[in-house]
Structure 1
Amino acid sequence: MLLAVAILWGSSYVFAKLTVQAGMHSGLINACRGTMCVIAGYLLFFKKINKINRKDIKLGLLMGTINFLGYYLQTDALRYTTPAKNAFLTTLYIAVAPLILWLVWHERPQRKTYFAITLAIIGMAIITNVTSGGLHFQYGDLLTLVSTIFWALQLIYFGKYAPQVSSPWVVIFMIGLCQGVYGWITVLLTERSTLGQVHWLQALVPLAILAIGVTFLAQGMQITAQAYTDATSAGLILMLESFFASVFSVILGYDPLTPRLVVGGIILLLANAIMQVDLRQLPFFKKKSA
């Protein structure tokens, strides 16, 4: 189930890029996908959703707001960068999460965190080509980096608070509701002039896939599946999201298969793997300690 989630998440970067190419801006994309998610969620799980309580609403609004901000920034970044670069930079949230836990919840990170973050920065520098570009990011890269803060917060809140709600599908319903409401507010305030540029027929299919397959199905599967596996296994499987995103992006011609993309991506994946694996349990380190 988690492998299917990683594939769905990986494909989402390409589908989001297709909606952007169809003339949709980030607010409209999130408004439509949130609305579709709410409709699908209620039709399938209306009995559970009808039993929603005050705690569900409170936690759902919090997680839905964080999710919208992450998606909005990440999707808007696709107007200025490629799906593979967007996906790889997004994986930094796994390195950012321990820092937020330290600063906000006072949970001190392990020593390996510093090494992993250093590796991640090196990989990020290679992918974004800052070494030859005067040490500055493209605008899309910067937006993606800011979005990692919200993805890290979502990872933390999903782990700490999602189990407290009455049903995982209630959380997904609230996430879709926040996406829809915040998205339509964004459209009314900032994107009304762009509505005439949208090719609706071109955007409809990728938009439906994003709404049903990614916002609704994948996140519901993630919350459900993590109850049946340990955090390390789940993290390593979900980390394949960026790998599948790059595969789809290269196959569809959005990114060339360059050494910079491969090397930088491998370094970022290695950094994330170090964050997820308990090195003390590996045979090499066990022998050393013995």
Structure 2
Amino acid sequence: MTRSQANLVLLSVALIWGLAFVAQAEGMAGVGPLTFTGIRFLLGAVIVLPLAWREWQQRSPHRMPARAGDVFGVGALGVLLMLGAALQQIGITGTTVTNAGFLTALYVPLVPLLASLLLRTRPHWSVWPTSLGCLGGTWLLAGAQGLAPAAGDLWVVGSSLFWALHVLFVGRIAERIAAPFLIACGQFLVCGIGSLLWGTLTETITLDGIRQALLPIGYAGIVSVAIGFTAQVIGQRYAQPSDAAIMLSAETVFAALFGYLLMGERLHAAGIVGCALILACIIIVQIAPLHAARHRARAG
């Protein structure tokens, strides 16, 4: 796969995930947010299962059994995925698709901040101004007109913390286990089962409601979870990190575009400025360290 083809794959992933925000909003007509999340990720697990089974068979001849620590790690990823997805889905019931897309993306500057706190890694200097920029963009997007942010906005902001923790640890666990589809399937199963169990305690689940939400659930599960995550893995194997950062950041733009085209959402002027500020900070915080690393490599 060429670099341009990989970039096109990643841009397609961003489009898929941007449209998924609309599906997540539309799916709330028939089921609750936890039920939607549970069925969505279980469906994704079923789609990925054949690839996970193939990886398991490839590991068996080499006598690479699953260790307790590996199982715990995948389970922990599933819990983080569940919390991020569930809080985001709850938030979507009380905010717009556009706000949800941009506020979810706050996880990008959170990742290096959490790495500094939890893993004692030194973040690039760009983390600090971009984090402040994201805070400013969030204020402009959610509450610049003198009103308190909507409850849905706060739920989505909360979900970004768990998305950041998931991103922070998924690479470390995947590097140790070296079985990406097994990890994906395992975490999808934990997320789906946990969300459904949570939903049975707090929501009313009916077959009529599930049938009503079947199309959005199908898109979110098959296209967004199974195809989107798999295509991301493939694309990032061949794309330059800087290219991948820009392409995947377009998810927020696609969420706003589809919110405008399909749901008639509109932003006030301050909201547009806030979205632009968040997107700029997301790109800068990913690109700046890569350029610094290239400069050091050339100097060396």
**Shorter-chain TM-score above 0.5:** yes
Q: What is the match of residue 16 of structure 1?
A: 24
CA 1:211–1:280 in structure 2 vs 1: closer, same or farther (change >3 Å)?
Answer: closer
> Which of 125, 149, 155 is the equivalent residue of 2:139?
125
Answering whether residue 153 of structure 2 is matched by residue 146 of structure 1, we say no
TM-superposed CA distance for 1:101, in Å, is: 0.7
Structure-2 separation of matches of 1:214 and 1:220:
9
TM-superposed CA distance for 1:48, in Å, is: 2.2
CA 1:198–1:179 in structure 2 vs 1: closer, same or farther (change >3 Å)?
Answer: farther
**CA RMSD after TM alignment:** 2.3
Secondary structure in 1 matching 2:213: helix
TM-superposed CA distance for 1:152, in Å, is: 0.9
CA 1:280–1:231 in structure 2 vs 1: closer, same or farther (change >3 Å)?
Answer: closer
> Which of 206, 209, 213 is the equivalent residue of 1:199?
209
> Which of 43, 48, 53 is the equivalent residue of 1:46?
53
Deviation string, structure 1 residues 44-94 (Cα, Å, up to 9, x no partner): 543224557235533321211111110000001011101110111111111
Conservation of the 8 A alpha-carbon contact between 2:21 and 2:97: yes
Q: What is the match of residue 33 of structure 1?
A: 40
Overall identity of the aligned pairs, in %: 25
Q: What is the match of residue 183 of structure 1?
A: 195
Secondary structure in 2 matching 1:184: helix
Q: What is the match of residue 234 of structure 1?
A: 244
Answering whether residue 124 of structure 2 is matched by residue 110 of structure 1, we say yes
> Which of 86, 91, 94 is the equivalent residue of 2:100?
86
- TM-score normalised by length of structure 2: 0.85
CA 1:121–1:46 in structure 2 vs 1: closer, same or farther (change >3 Å)?
Answer: same
TM-superposed CA distance for 1:38, in Å, is: 2.2
Structure-2 separation of matches of 1:128 and 1:204:
31
Pairing 1:144-183 to 2, within 5 Å after superposition: 144-183=156-195
Structure 2: gaps (5+ residues)? 1-8, 60-64, 296-300
TM-superposed CA distance for 1:167, in Å, is: 2.4
Structure-2 separation of matches of 1:111 and 1:75:
33
- TM-score normalised by length of structure 1: 0.88
Structure 1: gaps (5+ residues)? 286-290
Q: How many residues align?
A: 279
Structure-2 separation of matches of 1:72 and 1:43:
26
Answering whether residue 110 of structure 2 is matched by residue 96 of structure 1, we say yes
CA 1:53–1:23 in structure 2 vs 1: closer, same or farther (change >3 Å)?
Answer: same
- Give the letter for the 1:31 counterpart: G
Answering whether residue 84 of structure 2 is matched by residue 70 of structure 1, we say yes
- Give the letter for the 1:123 counterpart: G
Deviation string, structure 1 residues 115-137 (Cα, Å, up to 9, x no partner): 1111111111111124411xx32
Q: Which moved more, 1:72-81 or 1:260-269?
A: 260-269
